[in-house]
Amino acid sequence: MSMPFYVAPEQQMKDRSDFARKGISRGRAVVVLRYRDGICFVAENRSLALHKISEIYDRIGFAAVGRYNEFEQLRIAGIQQADMRGYAYDRSDVTGRMLANAYAQLLGSSFSNGTEKPFEVELVVAELGDAPAGDQIYRLTYDGSVADEENFAAMGGATELIADVVRRGIDPTAPLADAVRLAVRALGADTSPSGPRTLGPETLEVAVLDRVRPRPRKFRRLTRAQLAEVLNA
Amino acid sequence: MTDDLASSFFGLLSRTAPELLPAHRLSQGVPTGPAEQLSPHGTTIVAATFPHGVVMAGDRRATMGNYIAQRDIQKVYASDEFSLVGIAGAAGLAVEMVRLFRVELEHYEKIEGAPLSLDGKANRLAALIRSNLAMAMQGLAVLPLFAGWDLAGGLGRIFSYDATGGRYEETAFHSVGSGSIFARGSLKKIYRPDLDLHGCATAVVQALVDAADDDSATGGPDLMRKIYPIIMVAGPDGVHQLSDQEMTAITDEVIAGRRERPDGPAAPLV
């Protein structure tokens, strides 16, 4: 009969963290930031079909980095929960906080459950308020911890550098074009030996929760043509 | 693949919370028998296409037997950003079904990242109606009219249904509900395929006024309370509702014409 090796719980958690972090940092980054009329999501993503940014509900958006199949599964679970709740109660009863809590439970229990592989993802759940003061950006990490970010969140590889650029330039009262350009500049500032990169519209996925959109669903994607216009202005 | 309809909200509800389905809630443990008197009835819905879209109009009356249950009910809804649904029949179930249908379309669009085709939407509505068959057998049928802008084909289209979920595409115009016979007769005489939005909206108001003229369950424009029919339009730019000012203008025009000729505009004999 063989005895399993003893692994200290601290070591076990650390190993699992390292594993998840390594997976996440391989991917391209995402920046979520507030602007004058709402919340803007900017991701480095060359694919037009495989999204990192998505609509969850009327005023709730979702962005993720890490393993595609895992965050896709979480995205669908979020949409299901939001739609189910909005149908059973009322559309106004679906909140970002509730979704962030549900995700935190799921990520946390998977992280501490020794028999499962932890999720290699990081998420942002952002909710648009009726007024700018009500805007919320929740950032969730692989272990289920939630941070209520003030004006922006950056996640993925090399986030320190990216967050630094955004922190210095952020202005929640600036128009959309300024916010997009700041995020794109930040995403290009990650560590590459040849210095900062310039990202073009064909390498980006951008969407907004737009407070001035006249329909109840505030989520809107920017097409590549619209994006080119914003970047070249 | 574990589930063929993983993007369907109706499917999700059936699997995880069937007690929330409109028909399920009522069909459990309810004695069978006529139930028409339990819920008010919505009456007449009219839809007509024009070159740049499709309009749908509904009168504002709901009845329970011979009494008027509501004067300002809304029976025409945007089911998503390019389609419309109007309800006739048991109002309680119909409103719930429209709510479910709207979530169904939005759920699919969010999960798949692209909206359903117009035919796909029409088929999903058929499935929802079919699930209500047990209720329809007790007199609580829900008979919607569905219309929308077909982005692929670049035209407005109209679909009607029967209580078993049968789906029928209509050409040019159609009407459902208690006053539909009169509304359809009216549209036959005044509808032309080359009408613009204003013309098409006027034609459907004429049809509703004709329906209200001969069907006691259809409400005409309520001039005293300023309650006018609801008209919604689906076109290449999406769905919108005609404003109160637009509706007032169209209704005033129609009523003024009827003061001269109470039966409405005359069509040429040959």
| Nearest by CB: B107 against A51, A79, A217 | A79
Q: What is the pLDDT of residues A73-91, one digit of tens each?
A: 999 999 999 999 999 999 9
* Residue A65 CA neighbour count, 13 Å, CB half: 29
- Whether pLDDT at A157 is above 80: no
CB contact under 8 A, B9 and A76: no
Task: Assess A33–B contact: CB distance below 8 Å, yes or no.
Answer: no
Q: Which residues of A touch B12 (CB under 8 A)?
A: 80, 83-84
In angstroms, rounded to a whole number, what is the distance separating the alpha carbons of residues B21 and B122?
19
- Which of A54, A84, A218 best probes binding to B when mutated, by most B CB atoms within 10 angstroms? A84
Residue of B nearest to A78 (CA): B111
Q: What is the mean pLDDT of residues A157-165?
A: 87
Confidence tier at A95 by pLDDT (50, 70, 90): very high
Query: What pLDDT does residue B204 have?
Result: 96
* A98 confidence band (pLDDT: 50, 70, 90): very high
Which pTM value belongs to this model?
Answer: 0.90
Locate the chain A residue with the closest alpha carbon to B111: A76
Find which of B100, B110, B232 to mutate to test the A interface (most A CBs within 10 Å of its CB): B110
With CB atoms and an 8 Å threshold, state whether B113 touches A56. no
Distances (CA, A) of A140 to A7, A58, A104, A137, A144: 27, 21, 7, 10, 6
Spans of chain B, pLDDT less than 70: 1-4, 24-37
Kindly determine whether residue A79 and residue B110, on different chains, have CB atoms separated by under 8 Å: yes
- Using the beta-carbon criterion (under 8 Å), do B111 and A215 form an inter-chain contact? no
Residue A14: pLDDT above 80?
Answer: yes
Question: Which residue is it, tokens 């040429």?
Answer: B268
Q: What is the DSSP string of B134-178?
A: HHHHTT--EEEEEEEEETTTTEEEEEEE-TT--EEEESSEEEEST
Q: Measured between alpha carbons, how far apart are the two ends of chain A, in Å?
A: 71
Q: Which domains does chain B have, with CATH numbers?
A: 37-260 (3.60.20.10)
Residue A54 touches partner B, C-beta closer than 8 Å: yes
pLDDT reported for residue B32: 65
Q: According to the model, what pLDDT value does residue A19 have?
A: 87
Are A55 and B110 an interchain contact pair (Cβ–Cβ within 8 Å)?
A: yes
With pLDDT > 90 as the criterion, what percentage of chain A qualifies? 68
Alpha carbons A230 and A225: distance in angstroms, whole number: 9
How far apart are alpha carbons B206 and B194 in whole angstroms? 17
- Render pLDDT for B78-93 as a digit per residue (tens, 0 to 9): 999 999 999 888 888 8
Q: Is A84 close to B111, i.e. CB distance below 8 A?
A: no
- Average of per-residue pLDDT across A112-128: 90
Give yes or no for A50 touching B (CB within 8 A).
no
- What is the arithmetic mean of pLDDT over A148-175? 91
pLDDT at A229 over 70: yes
Amino acid residing at A93: D
pLDDT number for residue B133: 79
Is the pLDDT higher at A189 or at A80? A80
Q: How many A/B residue pairs have CB atoms within 8 Å?
A: 35
Q: What domains sit in chain A, N to C, each tagged with a CATH number?
A: 29-231 (3.60.20.10)
User: Based on the number of CB atoms within 10 Å of its own CB, is B67 exposed (0-12), middle (13-18) or buried (19 or more)?
Assistant: exposed
Residue percentage of chain A with pLDDT more than 70: 98
Predicted local confidence at residue B1, as pLDDT: 43
Min Cα distance A54 → chain B (Å) is 8
Q: Just list the catalytic residues of B.
A: 43
State the complex-level ipTM.
0.90
